[in-house]
Amino acid sequence: MKIAYVLDTFPVISQTFVVEELFGLRRRGFEVFPYALIHKRVDDPVPASYRELERETVFVPSRPAPLGLVVGHTRALLRHPLRYLATLGWAWRKRLTRSPFRLLKTAWSLARGREVDKRSREDVFWHFLLVPTLANSMARQKVEHVHAHFADNSASFGLLCARLLGKSFSVTAHAFDIFTNPPLLPEKLARARFVTTCTTRGLEKLRAVAKAAGVQPRLRLIYHGVDLQRFRPRNEEPDGVPVLLSVGRLVPKKGFDVLLQAAAELVRRGLQFELKIVGDGPERERLVALTRELGLEDAVAFVGSLSPEEMPQVYREAHIFVLPSVIDERGDRDGIPNVAAEALASGVPVVSTTVSAVSDLVRDGRQGFLVPQRDVTALADA
């Protein structure tokens, strides 16, 4: 079976679960073709397999040429006129932008090959204008099914491609794309052949959205797996000063500022430890400044991004894994971070919070401890 995999951004070092799933399907004999909306050019350590996949991926042009769009839409129209016109009508009815002025502004930006504003980028009608790049490529590959990862923009593109091609569509939803109520979520649930998510909380939220909209999607709970050949329990505890390990993108929902405050509390209690923070992101400068403000320079190390190949050894050197997830101001939160599963598979106890779905993975007091979000004292006690 030939499957199109539609991603939002690629490559993203923190989304190893998507790549591993794609490779897993290929090992099972499926032909999987990757597509992405945004080409993220990164200097982070990325495995060779990611770079190979990056070369295969068909990307939506960041600044599409007007002539190329006209040619793309003409091909889609000639391939199946009725399907094209029906999809065009649907996208027009579901558009977010109602203002004629904003529509003209977006069209002008498109004609000049310029980037458009954030609201327009989230509008399904804007997606329709760009989608022939992906749909025509899928037609050439004779794709039989379209699957999108994340229920926001990538699902919009995936659904449009499936409509233009007359193929089935499915989506995997995670956390941000569930709890922040992305545009047309009920519509995507209703039109999907099936919908999977990786946490019980995500499943409950999707059921609530579907019930409110009066639709009955086929929802499935499928947890992300961990390669137990790579992540194995160590034979003995590491020596030396206790190492606290935290891994993740340096973004607000990970709660790294709370972690640093808890580390300062441990120092005030006279405890010795080393805190390693693996990952990078937009919060790095602020977190480094907070580290200096709290006087933690000798106890905290910002390691930066590491490749997946380096992570098993990092877990083996840790005594405790800590991930103090919070709900950020947009409502975004963690699902089950794969790093928590990798830590447990490596024999490292996990300390996290009750806001994420880590409770699907960790039983409080057995595999680790779960504390309320943003509670510095409780986190330090754990």
Q: Write out pLDDT tens, residues 215-260.
A: 999 999 998 888 888 999 887 777 789 999 999 999 999 999 999 9
How far is the C-alpha of 192 from the C-alpha of 204, rounded, in Å? 17
How big is the chain by its Cα radius of gyration, in Å? 23
Domains observed in the chain: 2-221 (3.40.50.2000), 243-381 (3.40.50.2000)
Stated pTM of the model: 0.83
| Rounded CA separation 95/156 (Å) | 11
> ∠200-9-154 over CA atoms, to 5°?
60
Contact between 150 and 173 (Cβ < 8 Å) = yes
Pairwise CA distance, residues 334 & 325, whole Å: 7
Sheet holding 243-247, edge to edge: 300-304, 274-278, 243-247, 320-323, 350-353, 368-371
Q: What is the per-residue pLDDT for 237?
A: 77
In terms of phi and psi (left: phi > 0; alpha: psi -120 to 50; beta: otherwise), the region of 210 is alpha
Low-confidence ranges of the chain (pLDDT < 50): none
User: Tell me, what's the pLDDT at 48?
Assistant: 75
Contacts of 216 by beta carbon, 8 Å cutoff, 6+ apart: 210
Q: What is the pLDDT of residue 374?
A: 94
Per DSSP, helices labelled H in the chain are 16-27, 48-56, 66-79, 81-93, 100-111, 118-121, 124-130, 132-141, 153-165, 176-179, 185-191, 200-213, 256-268, 284-293, 311-316, 338-345, 376-381
- The dihedral sign for the CA sequence 282, 286, 292, 295: negative
**Residue 102: predicted pLDDT:** 67
Q: With CA atoms as reference, report the closest residue to 59 among 78, 44, 41.
A: 41
Q: What are 58-86's pLDDT values in tens digits? A: 998 877 788 888 999 999 999 999 999 99
pLDDT at 110: 64
- 3-state class (DSSP) for residue 326: coil
Cα separation, 190 vs 216, in Å, equals 7
150: left (phi over 0), alpha (psi -120 to 50) or beta: left
